[in-house]
Amino acid sequence: MCIFCKIIRKEIPNKTILEDDNFLAFEDINPQAKVHILIIPKTHFDSFNTITPKIMGEMTTFIQKVASITEVSHSGYRLITNIGDNGGQEVKHIHFHLLGGEKLGGIL
């Protein structure tokens, strides 16, 4: 069982930002920016390579709500998903990192 599935089942506590029937957004425990939120579907998909277009469409709306709630939608933010070992994916449950709240540097 993956750690995100345990979080969804409330076996591991989190600081929830937004939750609905299909998705969960919560604060990253190791933030890389002033705002660092993890956004996951409640249905397990290993990565972006296996998620359905329908779920991605619904997730887009959810992510936009999270950006608004965290007050980064107007100032700007970065949205990242890592795919596979070479892409740096550590948890094999699709998740997006929403980073913002400050000017972001880095490679992109």
Name the active-site residue from 36, 93, 95, 97: 95
- Is the separation of the CB atoms in 80 and 50 below 8 Å? no
Query: Would you call 97 a catalytic residue per the annotation?
Result: no
Structural element, H or E, at residue 79? strand 77-80
According to DSSP, the residues that pair with 37 across neighbouring strands are 27, 98
The C-alpha R_g of the chain, in whole angstroms, comes to 13
| Cα separation, 85 vs 80, whole angstroms | 15
Any alpha helices (H) in the chain, and if so which ranges? Answer: 3-8, 53-69
Residues annotated as catalytic (active site), given as ranges: 95
